[in-house]
Amino acid sequence: MSDSSRLPGDTYDAGMAVRRQVLGNEHVERSTDNSNEFTDEFQEMITRYAWGTIWTRDGLPRTTRSAITLTAMIAGGYWEELEMHVHAALRNGMMPEEIKEVFLQCAIYCSVPAANVAFKIGKKVLDEYAAK
C-alpha cells in the first residue's frame, strides 16, 4: 500500500510509530528494506493490526504486553522472535529480574526445555544490553 493511499490517523501510522518505539528503528528499517512484492502485504498487516490495533491499546501497560509476548514466543518455540522481543521488553521498561520471572513461569507452563532455550537467549541479550 502506498503512503499516498493511507489516511491521516490511520492505524498503519500509529502501528509504525509503536513498532519503532518497541523494536527500534534499526530492526524496523531492516524489515521494511527487505520487504518485497511477496512480503509487502504481510508487513502492512502486522504493522496495522499487531502494532496499530493491539500494541496501541490502553488496556495493558507495554511491560505486560511484553511479558505476554515473551510467553507466547517461548510456548511456540519462536526463538528468533524471542530474542527480538527480549530486546523489546527491555526497551519497554521490563527489568531483567522480571524477564527472568517470566522465563521461570514458562518453565512450569510451557516446558523446562523451552525455558532452558529462553534463558540462553535471554542471557545473550542481557549481556549485550549490559555491555552498552
Mean per-residue pLDDT over the chain, rounded:
93
Q: Binning pLDDT at 50, 70 and 90, where does residue 38 land? A: very high
Q: Please give the pLDDT value at position 10.
A: 85
Q: Are residues 48 and 77 in the same domain?
A: no
Q: Please give the pLDDT value at position 28.
A: 95
Q: Are residues 44 and 97 in the same domain?
A: no
In angstroms, the CA 32 to CA 17 distance is 13
1 located within any domain? no
Q: Binning pLDDT at 50, 70 and 90, where does residue 4 land? A: very low
Single-letter code of the amino acid located at 89: A
99 located within any domain? yes
pLDDT tens, position by position, 69-91: 999 999 999 999 999 999 999 99
Domain of residue 89: give its range. 62-131
Q: How many domains does the chain have?
A: 2
Q: Is the pLDDT of residue 45 over 70?
A: yes
